Structures are given as C-alpha cells and as structure tokens.
Amino acid sequence: MKKYVVLALVALVSGNAMAQKNGNPEAPECQNKWGADSVETAKQLSLFNQYYQEKKYAEAYPYWKYLFENAACIQKRITYAGPYIVKKKLREEVAARKPIYAAEKAKKAELKAATEPGSIEAYKAYKKEMAITRAAHQLKIDGYAEEVFSAHRKRIVFWGDEANVLGKLADDMAKLTPSRRLEAIGIFDKSMDMAGDKTKYDVPMDYIYAGVKVYKKKEMSMDSLFLMLDKVSPIIDANITAYTASGISVKDSLIGVKWVKTQNAIIGMMKPYLNCDKLEELKKPYFADKKSDVNWLKSTVKLLARGGCESKAFYLECSEALFALEPSSDAALGLAKGFGKQGDNDKAISYYTKAADLAPNDDAKYDIWIKLAKTAKNSKQYSAVRDYARKAIAINPNSGEAYILIGDAYAASAGSCGSGELGRGGVYLVAVDKYARAKSIDPSVAEAAQAKINKYSAYFPGKEDAFFKGVNNGDSYRVGCWIGESTSVRTIGS
C-alpha cells in the first residue's frame, strides 16, 4: 500500500505538469480535472502512463478506463489516444474469442451429426446456448465501440478541433459498427462541411469506402454514391493543386503525395461503377471555371481515363485544354490514343508526333515512332509507315519490329506499286528483304519474320515469266512507285 501512496504522490506532481492547463473551462470534467479522488486518479494516471509509454496499450486499458470515467480532462492523451487504446483492447478480445468460436462451431457440427436418442434436442439446446454466448460477446464488443465513439466526442468537448475529430469518429463508427454506416456517412458530411479544403487527406477515402459498402448492401442508390464522389472531388482537386505546386516545401510535397494516393484509392474503389455519362455530369459543370487549372485538368483526365472515356468528346476537350497549358509527351500520348479510339487517325498521328518531339529520352521517342508506324499502317498510309519506322531505326538500328513494319507496308502496296516488269512479285522481293533484315538483327522477332518470309516468298516472280521479260535470277531490279528501292531478283518455279 505504501508503494501506491508514493506512486500517487509522484503522479500527482508529474501529472499536474503533464496535464493541459485549462482544457475547456465550461466542461464540468475540466472544472475539477482530478475528479472526486485525486489520490486514486494520480495512482491510475501513473500506471496508465507507464504502460502507455511502454506501448503496452491493451494493458493500459483498465487504467485508461478509470481515468476516462472519473478524470477525463486530466490529460489530453486520455481522449486523444483513447480510441487507439480501446481498439487495441477490442482486437485482443476478438482474437481471444476466435478459438472459442471455432470449438463451439465444431461441437455444434458434431451434435448436429449425432443420431442417438435425444441428439436433436441436445443440438437445439447447444445452438441456443451458443447464440446467447455470442450475443453477450457482441454486446461487449459494442461496448468497446461505444467507448471509442465517446472518447472522440469528449475530445471535441474538451479540446475542440471538431471537424478533424468528427472525421475520425465517422471512420471508426463505419468500421466498428457496420450497421451504423449511414449514420457515419452523415458525420463524415458534417466533418467535410466544416473543414472544406482543410479536410485531412484520409477522410475522403474513408468516406467513399463507407459509401461503397452501403451501396453494396443496397442501402444507397447509385446516384447517392455519385453525389458522395461529387462532394469529395473538389476537395481532392484543391489539395492536389495546393500540395503539388512548384516551389513548395518537402513537407508539403509529401502531403501532396498522400492526396494523390487518396485520389487513386477512390478511383480504384469507384472503378466498377464509373460511367462516362456520370463522370461527365460530375465534372463538366466545373470545366468553364477550371479549364485554366492544370491540376484540376490532370485529375479530371485521369478520372475519365480510369472510366474508359478516352474516346469521349469531354475527355478530349479536357485533354486538349491541358496540353495547351502544359505541353508534355504524356498529355500528347493521351490525346493520340483518344483520337485514335475515336477513329480520327489524322489527329492521332498529329499528337503522336508532338509526343515524340516532347519525349524525355530516346527510349520514349522510339516507342512513339513505333506506335506512329502502327497507326499509319492501320490507316493505310504506307509511305508514312516507312517514315516513322526509319525514325525508330535511327534510334535503335537493331529494331526488327521496325523492319517488319516496313516490310508489311511494302507487301500491302503490291497492288498499287506492282506496275514494273515483275509486277506484284517484284514488290514482294523488297518486302522479304526487310523481313530477312529483321530476322538477322533481332532474335526476338525471328520467328515472326520467318513466317512472313515463307508467306511472301510464295508470290515471287515465276522463273519463266521473268526470263521472257529479260530478267534472270541475281539481276538487280528496282521497284518504283513510292517504294523506290532496288533488290536482287529471286524467282520460283522450274
């Protein structure tokens, strides 16, 4: 007993030093923050702080509980750390019950399978007993949850910061008591209404998570879910703009990273429900005012892209506005893909070219030239295919893919460029030259190149036809038209 008296006296002094001087003077608990028994409070505070500082949070719980019920204003830590401590105790309780539940489940199955007389009655009686036990345990769990909520509410009463703490309360309510998620969403709403753009980065993510869960339970309409997205989008956009601006501190830029992660998480949660019409309805009303805001445009373009809206007019409108403000290879590539999906190959090629000009390195440029060559091939602009492929080869001389694209362009032009003495067969000669070149320099395309060689070699000029035209194997032969290349004659047949 003497030991506890000494501890109490020490705690009384040190506790006074650690405690907040005033708290909220209007709160009854803060008018006499040591409670009815200051010696007992000092003892409990000493033990609580000892376990807390050792990070033994579950062990700190009973001392925290005494303080919370009798002297909650003694220290900020009681309400600030209270939810964390109670949740640690709650998790410990749930973990301890798991093997008990498993044993109960096994016994229930055993009784259900029994066939001796009275087994059905025994099974029903045990099932009823187990239901009572589980209900009692759930009441205990619910009691812990209520302590978490009460700690948040008392923190507001004692120390203020209501908007921030309401966000924490709403998150805990949504996760600890799923049946109260709709109530939690209302608290989230109040938190964000109060905080506005000062909302903490994790609140919108927790809010949408709760909304998706409620929607899946069919307790909320899709329109209501999108109204929630509508509520958080301007807050996220404003914070990404503020915390990703040039010249900000390292500390602020780290906050910006968190906001970007929040945006990505929300997009991930909403992706199954993203609909281009809904997204346009959500974002378009802001476009007139935001079309000069680079960060808003970036987030909007990203959201629309996640929704698969790249070919939609609003996506392209936002993307072109972004490109005009901040030309970049990525922005140009997005536009190129969008116009390509829309079927406007001329605009797609135009933006691919701009993307290549703005690309940060040769590897990026190479990839773009290859994409351009493929786009030109799809639109049957065969001379352009060769132009772009040659630009790729200038960066990577061992690009078998580029040589195959040129060969494909030549082969596709056999009908229009086969007016020489050897006709279409002469064009296939130069096409196969390109495939052979691809095979010789790039093992990764060797199989594909050989398949094309086999295919088009079958269309080489016939030996007799060539002979009657005064052309023999090994002669030099020039293909005209846009191709303008010479090759060595190879013929087929006896």
pTM (whole model) above 0.75: no
State how far the Cα of 349 lies from the Cα of 335, in Å rounded to an integer: 10
Amino acid present at 466: A
The number of angstroms, rounded, from the C-alpha of 223 to the middle of its chain's C-alpha atoms is 22
What pLDDT, on the 0 to 100 scale, is given for residue 347? 86
**List of residues 6+ apart from 100 with CB closer than 8 A:** none
Q: Could you report how far apart the first and last alpha carbons of the chain are, in Å?
A: 116
State how far the Cα of 392 lies from the Cα of 461, in Å rounded to an integer: 31
Handedness of CA 252, 258, 260, 263 (dihedral sign): negative
Instruction: Let me know: does 205 contact 223? Beta carbons within 8 Å.
Output: no
What tokens appear for 183 in the block?
Answer: 């109530």
Give per-residue pLDDT as tens, 410-437: 999 999 998 888 889 999 999 999 999 9
**222-243 and 276-290 helices, crossing angle to 10°:** 40
What pLDDT, on the 0 to 100 scale, is given for residue 2? 41
Three-state SS string over 345-391 comes to HHHHHHHHHHHHHHCCCHHHHHHHHHHHHHHHHHCCCHHHHHHHHHH
What tokens appear for 296 in the block?
Answer: 């808003």
What tokens appear for 167 in the block?
Answer: 């966000």
Instruction: Let me know: does 481 contact 417? Beta carbons within 8 Å.
Output: yes
Question: Residue 478 gets which letter from DSSP?
Answer: E
Give per-residue pLDDT as tens, 103-123: 777 777 777 777 777 778 787
Q: Is 121 exposed, middle or buried (0-12, 13-18, 19+ CB in 10 A)?
A: exposed
What pLDDT, on the 0 to 100 scale, is given for residue 24? 65
Name residues of the chain where pLDDT drops below 50: 1-21
What pLDDT, on the 0 to 100 scale, is given for residue 11? 41
Rg for the chain, CA atoms, rounded: 36
H-only helix segments in 359-472: 362-378, 382-395, 400-412, 414-417, 423-441, 446-457, 463-468
Amino acid present at 417: C
Map residue 3 onto helix, strand or coil. helix
What pLDDT, on the 0 to 100 scale, is given for residue 23? 58
Q: How many residues does the chain have?
A: 494
H-only helix segments in 56-178: 57-70, 76-80, 82-113, 119-159, 162-176
Helix (H) or strand (E) holding 36: none
What pLDDT, on the 0 to 100 scale, is given for residue 10? 43
State how far the Cα of 396 lies from the Cα of 402, in Å rounded to an integer: 9
Residue showing tokens 């945006």 = 263
Amino acid present at 214: V
**List of residues 6+ apart from 228 with CB closer than 8 A:** 185, 207, 208, 211
Amino acid present at 183: E
